[in-house]
């Protein structure tokens, strides 16, 4: 079953390769969507794919890149929309 998750990650997650690492991890799993920095210091992501693979990405978001220090991950599960062909970093 395909699912979509809208994720917000808080902590020291900007300037620590969080977005590029997220992109690499998503591409390895075949998860599509995007990730971007928010003005308030959080990172936002849309993750689409098989439910198990999306859950693996959410698990990754709890740890992030090596230099990251994640304090909170908010997840909103949504219906899969299939609107992405890959995974990208947005600016």
pLDDT reported for residue 22:
98
Per-residue model confidence (pLDDT) at position 21: 98
At 2-39, the pLDDT tens digits run: 999 999 999 999 999 999 999 999 999 999 999 999 99
SS3 of residue 25 by DSSP? helix
79: exposed, middle or buried (Cβ count in 10 Å: 0-12, 13-18, 19+): exposed
φ/ψ bin of 33: left (φ > 0), alpha (ψ from -120 to 50), beta (otherwise): left
* Mean predicted confidence (pLDDT) in 58-73: 97
Catalytic residue numbers? Answer: 19, 37
Query: 2-80 belongs to which CATH class?
Result: alpha beta
In 3D space, the residue among 46, 44, 36 whose CA is nearest the CA of residue 81 turns out to be 46
């Amino acid at each position: 079953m395909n699912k979509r998750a809208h994720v917000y990650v808080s902590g020291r997650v900007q300037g620590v390769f969080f977005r590029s690492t997220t992109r690499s991890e998503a591409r390895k799993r075949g998860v599509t969507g995007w990730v971007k920095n928010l003005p308030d210091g959080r990172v936002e992501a849309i993750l689409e794919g098989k439910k198990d693979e999306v859950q693996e990405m959410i698990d990754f978001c709890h740890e992030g890149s090596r230099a990251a220090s994640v304090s909170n991950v908010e997840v909103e599960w949504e219906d899969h929309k299939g609107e992405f062909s890959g995974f990208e970093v947005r600016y």
